[in-house]
Amino acid sequence: MICFYQTALYVGPATVTVASTPYTWPGTSAGTAVGFLWAFAEWYTATVPSGSCSVTFARNPVDSGIIATLWFNHPTVFAPSGDFTTRSGIPAQTTTHAAPGTASMLGSWSPAQTNGYVTLRLDYPMVEGNGDASGVGAIRQTVPGSGQHRPTVEAIGTAQDAARLTQVLMSAGSFRQGSVLDYRARGLPVDGPWWGGVHFGPVTRTSAGHNLYRFSFDVAR
């Protein structure tokens, strides 16, 4: 799953009501739809007494985008602004523990053949501590000796996925940046699924079988 950076992506306020008390998130400027949803979730957790909010993501088979769902630990009335809904795909909800999206997030891409997942190849993050892959001293933040290999993001998808990718790349900001959902165990500070930021270079599309395509992006951290 990829969410591409959008130029001047400001998202207006959203109000939540918990136990008859309203709280208003003022909005934020964020590069991607993923970024402002995480910002909202963090605000809810920090602002609502004993509150907790998380975000989950799933492939939208209708248009090869990504559907986001906000999860609340308290019954919550969710009243987002129009641009919040337009960019996240999440509409207003009456008292609920979940606010599911009904449309794909702005700038999102999730290919069909791999159930929405993409492959990040030859990206070797540094590991804190000592050793050849550490961040100690003058060691670069990747595995030494891998500098001649350019990391790539790859996926296999359909003609619908190709059309969606063309659409989101046309609206993507410049320089072309984005976030890739990464399931690798990273250690500190985050272990498990997270959205990692990358810079996207050229993308190629080649045949991968009947009505299937292989997509390959050159990327850099």
Query: How much is the mean pLDDT over the chain?
Result: 83
pLDDT score recorded for residue 110: 94
pLDDT score recorded for residue 138: 46
Domain locations in the chain as residue ranges: 2-108, 111-220
pLDDT score recorded for residue 94: 92
Query: What global pTM score does this model have?
Result: 0.82
| CA Rg value for the chain | 19
Question: Over 80: is that where the pLDDT of 93 sits?
Answer: yes
pLDDT score recorded for residue 161: 95
Lowest-confidence pick of 12-16, 65-69, 175-179, 186-190:
186-190
Q: How far is the C-alpha of 95 from the C-alpha of 1, rounded, in Å?
A: 30
Buried b (16+ CB within 10 A) or exposed e, 97-117: eebbbebbbbbbbbbbbbebe
Distance of CA 122 to the CA centre of its chain: 20
* For residue 72, cis peptide bond before it (omega within 30 degrees of 0): no
Question: Over 60: is that where the pLDDT of 189 sits?
Answer: no
Question: Over 90: is that where the pLDDT of 117 sits?
Answer: no
pLDDT in tens, 29-87: 888 899 899 999 999 999 999 999 999 999 999 999 999 999 999 999 999 999 999 99
Q: How far is the C-alpha of 1 from the C-alpha of 83, rounded, in Å?
A: 22
